[in-house]
Amino acid sequence: MTILSRSLIFLLVAGLLAMSFAKPTRVVFFGDSITQAGVGPGGYIDRLKKMMPADQFELIGAGIGGNKIYDLFLRMDDDVLAKQPDVVVVWVGVNDVWHKATFGTGTDPDKFVKFYEAVVKKLKAANARVILCTPATIGEKTDFSNQQDGDLNQYSQLIRDLAKRQNLPLVDLRKAFLEYNLKNNPENKEKGVLTTDRVHLNEAGNQFVAEQMQKVLMEGGK
């Protein structure tokens, strides 16, 4: 079955569900400053709202600047579970890595996994389908010479492994961003391709993330 036909079936089923229950799928985007900005005009969540059928999907942002995985854990009751989401898209990791260098308060890789697992466990217990994302970028150079590349690659792999272990859908933004930059960043610039400042999304970045998210959201949270 092709992705297209699976998407169509998903849309059909979602449509039927929408008709029968008159209630769209509620999706909460749970993350850091990138997601906080995502709800603004032109942000990736704002774009997704226009890209996805409004009667079938209700999209809610729950991003707070500077958040690491354990911040998500600490505030998930109030900011996510209280909203009774059907789907939660977790996108975190940049600050867990970055804060090592800028504050000395990054997250150890093994603790990153433990808290990520604790977040997933609690979301599942609340009957939310969980979609994981890898952290996209701290610097867009494509030769792995951005200071945090080593850690971002490591933590992304930890998230991929977790998604696999628990059979969860994954939006592999780190992989997607690298591939995009390999094509579109021949000068090896550190920002300005998909980001404004090495981390936060510019217009192209918000559009690109919206498209990556859409693909997985349409597929599912099956």
> On the CB side of 216, how many CA atoms lie within 13 Å of its CA?
21
The binding track of 113-132 with respect to a second copy, each residue x by CB under 8 A or -, is: -xx--x--------------
CA distance 84 to 123: 10
Contact 104, 151 (CB under 8 A): no
Closer of 154 and 196 to a second copy (Cβ)? 154
Q: Does 197 bind a second copy (CB under 8 A)?
A: no
Size of the residue set binding a second copy (CB under 8 A): 30
CB of 72 to a second copy, least distance (A): 12
Among 104, 125, 127, 222, binds a second copy (CB under 8 A): 104
Q: Is 108 helix (H, G, I), strand (E, B) or coil?
A: coil
Least distance CB 151 / a second copy (angstroms) = 5
Residues numbered 138 to 157 that lie near a second copy (CB under 8 A) are 139, 143-151, 153-154, 157
Report in angstroms how near the CB of residue 22 gets to a second copy at its nearest: 39
Half-sphere exposure of 81 (CA within 13 A, CB side): 16
How many Cα neighbours within 13 Å face the side chain of 42? Answer: 6
**Residue 163 to residue 169: CA distance in whole angstroms:** 7
The residues that touch a second copy, with contacts defined as CB under 8 A, are: 70-71, 74, 99-108, 111, 114-115, 118, 139, 143-151, 153-154, 157
